[in-house]
Amino acid sequence: MNDQRSHSMPVWHGTTIMSVRKNGKVIVAGDGQVSMGQTVMKPNARKVRRLHDGSVIGGFAGATADAFTLFERLEAKLERHNGQLMRAAVELAKDWRTDKYLRNLEAMMIVADKEVTLILTGNGDVLEPVAHPQGTVAAIGSGGNFALAAARALVEYEEDAETLARKAMKVAAEICVYTNDQLVVEELESVN
């Protein structure tokens, strides 16, 4: 029997990106592993970075080149809309839904500023995670559900946003084979 999948290129597998908003801080953390099929291609990729003069932080999961394209587009939207993250994200999502080139990009992003955390999906959606009194958590990527579950379990007990993110990412790295423990963490002051 001829299996067409055996003739195709291996699939690039993701990462884990998470955000924690708690006690006046917002954190975006991401692991460093890049995998192709069953091979770790790079253990220390930087998937979390600052945008718009450092006032926005974001992380990506998915195809690296696609994510860089999205970061560039988001940066341009932030410049055009004076750093207003929600407005820039909505404008990017409109482009993502209507531009044939952007529709083929395979990436997701978590972006945050001092006021809001957003998940930008490959379908052109802009999602704001549900805010909880103890803290708001969000996660994407192959280990995203593991990190999200760990963070939700810890959010009532861990007061420091960065410590919470690091503990949740450690759980994801122990469970998801496409996630490692080489983290990049960025932090901003938060209004909530």
Known binding positions for Na(+): 173, 176, 179
Identify the three-state secondary structure at position 35: strand
Short-list 49, 116, 55, 62, CA closest to 89: 116
- Tokens standing for residue 96: 């993502």
Which of the residues are catalytic? 15
For the chain, where are the E strands, in sequence order? 12-13, 16-22, 25-30, 34-36, 39-42, 48-51, 56-62, 107-112, 117-120, 126-127, 136-141, 184-189
Which residue positions form the known binding site? 173, 176, 179
Measure the CA–CA gap between 151 and 92, rounded to whole angstroms: 28
Residue burial 72-98, b: 16+ Cβ < 10 Å; e: rest: ebbbebbeebeebbeebbebbbebbee
